[in-house]
Structure 1
Amino acid sequence: MSWQTILAIGSGGFIGAVLRAYFNGIISHKMPHDIPFGTLGVNLVGSFIMGILIAYFMYSTIFSLHVKSFLSTGVLGALTTYSTFAIESFLLLNSGHIALALANISLNAFGSILMAGGGFYIIKLSLRA
C-alpha cells in the first residue's frame, strides 16, 4: 500500500470519526431513548452512502484509487461504527434488556444491509439510464 493511500485512508478516517461523534451526539440528544439511535443513524446513513459509492466505483471510472480509499475505507469506515454497536448491544444484553438489545441488533444489521443495497441500486439504475 502506498503512502498516498495510507494518507488518504487516515485523513478520511479522521473526518469520518469526527462526523460520527457529531451526528451521534445530535441524534442522541434529539432522540433520547433506550435504543442507541445515534449509532443506528450513522450506521444506516453510512451504509446507504457506501452502497452509492460502491456502485459508482463499479460502474464509473471517475474516482481514483486514493479517492476511493479516502471515501470508503477512511470516511465511511470511521463513520459507521460496529464496534460501538457491538458494545452498546452487549450493554443492553448485560443489563437485562433483551428485547431492546435484539431490536438494536436487528435494526442495525438488517437496516444497514437494506440501506447499502438501496444506495447501490439507485446509482446502478441511474447510471444505466
Structure 2
Amino acid sequence: MNTLTIIAVASGGALGATLRLLINGFVNKYVPHTLPFGTLTVNLLGSLIIGMLFAYFHFNTHLSPHLKTFMVTGILGALTTYSTFAIESFFLLESGQYGHAFANMALNLFGTILLAGIGYIMVLNLAK
C-alpha cells in the first residue's frame, strides 16, 4: 500500500461520510418514517452506485487504481459498507454459487444484527 492509496481512501472517506450525514439527515427530516429510511436510502443508493461503478470498471480497464479506490473504498466505504456486501452477494449469485450467496446474505444480515444487539447490551450492562 502506498501513500497515494491512503490519500485516495481518506479523501473519499471524508466525502462519503459527509454525503451519508447529509442524505441521512435530509431523508429523516422530510420523509415520514417508522423505519430508518435515511440509512436504507444510503444503503440502497450505495448498492446501486457500486453496481454501476463495477460495471463501468469492467469496460474501462484503463482507469487509475487510485481513482477506483477513491470511489469504491473511500466514498462508498464511508457512505455505506452495505454496497460492498451487495456487490459481493450479487457476484456469488451471478457465478451460480447460490449456497455461498445465501449463506453470505444470511450471515451478514443476521450476524450484524445479532452482534449489534450484543454490543448494545454489553455497553448498557457495563454502564450500570
Q: Give TM-score scaled by structure 1 length.
A: 0.62
Q: Decide whether the 8 Å contact of 1:27 with 1:38 is kept in 2.
A: yes
The residue that corresponds to 1:5 in the other structure is 5
User: Which letter does structure 2 place at the counterpart of 1:77?
Assistant: G
Q: Which has the larger radius of gyration?
A: 2
1:61 CA displacement: 2.3
The residue that corresponds to 2:49 in the other structure is 49
**What does the per-residue CA deviation read over 1:3-28, in whole Å, with 9 as the maximum and x for residues that have no partner?**
10110001000000000000000000
For 2:33 and 2:48, how far apart are their aligned partners in 1? 23
How many pairs align?
88
Gaps of 5+ in 1: 95-129
1:68 CA displacement: 0.2
Change (3 A) 1:48 1:40: same
Gaps of 5+ in 2: 83-108, 121-128
User: Which letter does structure 2 place at the counterpart of 1:28?
Assistant: N
Q: Pairwise mapping of residues 11-50 of structure 1 onto structure 2 (< 5 A)?
A: 11-50=11-50
The SS at the match of 2:28 is: helix
The SS at the match of 2:35 is: coil
Q: Decide whether the 8 Å contact of 1:39 with 1:81 is kept in 2.
A: no
The residue that corresponds to 1:105 in the other structure is none
**What does the per-residue CA deviation read over 1:44-97, in whole Å, with 9 as the maximum and x for residues that have no partner?**
011100001011112212420000000000001111155xx967xx67xx9xxx
How large is the RMSD of aligned CA atoms in angstroms?
2.2
The residue that corresponds to 2:68 in the other structure is 68
After TM superposition, the structure 1 stretch with the greater mean CA deviation from structure 2, 60-69 or 8-17, is 60-69
Q: Which has the higher contact order (CA 8 A, sep 6+)?
A: 1
Please identify runs of 4+ aligned residues in structure 1 that moved more than 4 A: none
